[in-house]
Structure 1
């Protein structure tokens, strides 16, 4: 098995956990962009989705996810179970996106 299996569940159908390696994690901190802030402010007045921030957070989640995967690979894992995302404000206009899960070694049943 060459690919990393990622699941939000504690079990992966067809596989068994043969070793738990610990917590795999990845994070990124993103700040607002002044140009996007202006567009978002205008959109906020009119109502509706603030697409500039939706895109920024989607990109940030992907970066955090890839960093978590890299951390798990460095630990020797081929799977990550119980994956979760967390977002928190770390400063005015900046947010941390954190991905974490349990790095495991999986084998086919």
Structure 2
């Protein structure tokens, strides 16, 4: 599956737009990592506990979006966009969406 954040794929022609596909998830770290992350916030430094949480959430959301596109028979997803928000301390929602397309052969 080709996944791009542009409207077109270089060297390829879109035959048909199949519709918008999306994926989202809300992730939270367990209390131990949340405490460590909170302490890092007080003293400064890279907050790897939250980076891991965000990366896991992004991967889950992407897989969900790609699965939707595959179910539609898509060859690619174009114009992909990400959004995120904090639901509560220690948790994050990630949403990804784009347009599933069929490419000309």
User: Which secondary structure state, in structure 1, belongs to the residue aligned with residue 39 of structure 2?
Assistant: helix
Question: Structure 1: which 5+ runs fail to align?
Answer: none
Equivalent of 1:49, from 28, 31, 46?
Answer: 46
Structure 2: gaps (5+ residues): none
- Give how far 1:92 is off: 5.2
CA deviations on 1:79-105 (whole Å, 9 max, x unpaired) are 000001111233454321111000000
Deviation readout 1:1-59 (Å, 9 max, x if unpaired) = xxx11100000001001000000111111123211111111211210111000011011
Q: Would the alpha carbon gap of residues 92 and 49 (structure 1) be closer, same or farther in structure 2, given more than 3 Å must change?
A: closer
State which of 70, 87, 100 in structure 1 corresponds to 2:97: 100
2:87 is aligned to: 90
TM-score by structure 1 length? 0.89
Q: 1:72 aligns with which of 69, 73, 80?
A: 69
- Cα pair 2:85 2:92 within 8 Å, conserved: yes
Distance 1:33 1:98 in 2: 21
- Aligned residue in 2 for 1:13: 10
CA distance in 1, matches of 2:42, 2:95: 30
Aligned equivalent of 2:25, options 21, 25, 28: 28
> 1:37 and 2:34 equivalent?
yes
- How many residues of Structure 1 are paired with residues of Structure 2 in the alignment? 105
